[in-house]
Amino acid sequence: MNFFISVTAIPLATVILSLTKLKVEQLRLVVPVMSWLQFGVLTFLSLPALQNNHSFLTFSVDFSIEKIGACFLLLTNFIAAASITHATCFFANEKLVGRGEDPQHEKLYYAACALFVTAMSFVFLSDNLGLLWVSIEATTLFSAALVYFSRDKHSLEATWKYLIICSVGIAFALLGIILIFASSQHGAIAGGSLSLRLLVDHANELQPKLLQFGYIFCLLGFGTKAGVFPLHTWLPDAHSEAPAPASALLSGALLNCALFSICRVTEIIQVSGHSFFATFLPISWGALTALAASFFLIHQVGIKRLWAYSSIENVGIMLVAIGLGSPPLFFFQALNHSLAKVALFLLSGNIIQSAGTKELKQIKGILQVSPSWGITFAAAAAAVTGMPPFGSFVAEWMILSHCGDLVQRIAAGVLLFALALSFIAVSLHVGRILWGKPKHQIAVLPTFSSTLIPLLLCIFSLLAGSTCLPTFFFD
């Protein structure tokens, strides 16, 4: 009971406050404080798991956490707290540029955010495949409210596409979980089980064909949620239409949840000895996803769609890390991608507010308008493309160096080509945004408050690549 109170008390209080008659200006002060307080509570809760590499911290029959899960839990809540903190500035600036929404919409945004982040937290806390699936499905329902924030035809279309495609994908994942459960009933576990730890412990005894088919369906279903190619079609629209702080959450936190689910199921397959399914499928699909996304990056018309396709590319890289059987590598890449991509989405929100458009061809001269935005934007773009000395360079280098056999080396070659192509494409787009003369009058917004969070995230990404942080995950 104490576990559930610790995880849900502050988010539920946030929802209640958001739905009361409290003024939106007061919520902008209260909600960020509560978000950081929740991050502190979860840090304290998961501290024993962080200190032990090889054991689970058990909270109840169906909920437990180990080191990598604890790292993802804290990363998710850190990203959420940072995005919500920036959201207060974002919504205040919307009013300054004359595009302020109905205050009730903003209050609903905070309520949906709290529920969304709680659902994501339970993804990492669930030791039961069924509850893991329920948590993933809950993230879809709660985040749909964030995508539909603007209440116009474009956001409606993006929300509808998001709900339909992801719900169909999650249905495939449910079928996969049912098949894995059925595989455990054939003498492995009396009566069968959905416990992840039990399934890993008895992986060699699971019925092979049911397990393999179950894994394929889980990979297909959770892969849809992660935005792997060619099941990615919902992602650019959803990321583009959601307000910038919500886009940051979708890219920096939600995609990690879907990939973490794949990682947990892949662990069962790897222990069972089915190397083809555990390595070839995720590695080849990840390399294909990164390659396809790099081509999409070449010609983009919207600034947030640009970063959405960059997210798909990084999903492919993380999927390769999962196929290599290295959860620490997967987390290290996810950490660096989340830090840089959240900074980019938040800064893109500032730029869209000032320029009054999302179109890349209409956005120029940001360095001239706001040097602090321009410098931080350039740093975040460098970080997300894997330039040294940022942490993403270290993570991507480690992933490539872990590719050993022929198939993995071919995948590494494809990844290298995709990384080079995406670097060139992003550099060209970012160069046009930063330099040149603004095409029309750009509103000047408060720079310190709107740059603080993205700048701190870039600094953290820099520290991740230049400190001994990677050794913490690979001890």
DSSP 442-472: -----HHHHHHHHHHHHHHHHHHHHSSHHHH
Question: Residue 199 has which token pair?
Answer: 């399934």
- Interval 228-262: pLDDT, tens: 988 888 888 888 888 889 999 999 899 999 999 99
SS3 (DSSP) at 429: helix
How large is the average pLDDT for residues 353-358? 79
Q: Is 316 or 62 the better-scoring residue by pLDDT?
A: 316
How large is the average pLDDT for residues 20-46? 87
387 found inside a domain: yes
407 found inside a domain: yes
Residue 145 has pLDDT above 60, yes or no: yes
Alpha carbon distances (Å) from 460 to 174, 293, 376: 37, 26, 13
Spatial contact of 259 and 329, defined as CB atoms under 8 Å apart: no
Residue 469 has pLDDT above 60, yes or no: no
Residue 153 has pLDDT above 90, yes or no: no
141 found inside a domain: no
Euclidean distance between CA atoms 177 and 190, whole angstroms: 17
Question: Residue 285 has which token pair?
Answer: 């699909």
Number of domains in the chain: 1
How large is the average pLDDT for residues 360-387? 85
- Interval 320-347: pLDDT, tens: 999 888 888 899 889 999 999 999 999 9
Q: Is 438 or 343 the better-scoring residue by pLDDT?
A: 343
Residue 280 has pLDDT above 80, yes or no: yes
- pLDDT for residue 37: 93
- pTM to 2 decimal places: 0.91
Residue 441 has pLDDT above 70, yes or no: no
Cα three-residue angle 110-113-118, rounded to 5 degrees: 130
- pLDDT for residue 54: 65
Spatial contact of 445 and 96, defined as CB atoms under 8 Å apart: yes
272 found inside a domain: no
Cα three-residue angle 371-442-436, rounded to 5 degrees: 60
- Interval 397-413: pLDDT, tens: 888 888 777 777 888 88
**pLDDT above 90: percentage of residues in the chain:** 24
345 found inside a domain: yes
Pairing of strands 57-58, 64-65: antiparallel
pLDDT band at 134 (very low <50, low <70, confident <90, very high): very high
Domain assignment of residue 312, given as a range: 289-475
Q: Kindly give, in sequence order, each residue whose CB lies less than 8 Å from that of residue 349, ignoring residues fewer than 6 positions away.
A: 90, 243, 244, 245, 247
314 found inside a domain: yes
Residue 374 has pLDDT above 60, yes or no: yes
How large is the average pLDDT for residues 158-182? 89
Euclidean distance between CA atoms 131 and 136, whole angstroms: 9
219 found inside a domain: no
How large is the average pLDDT for residues 456-475? 71
Euclidean distance between CA atoms 102 and 95, whole angstroms: 10
401 CB neighbour count, 10 Å cutoff: 10
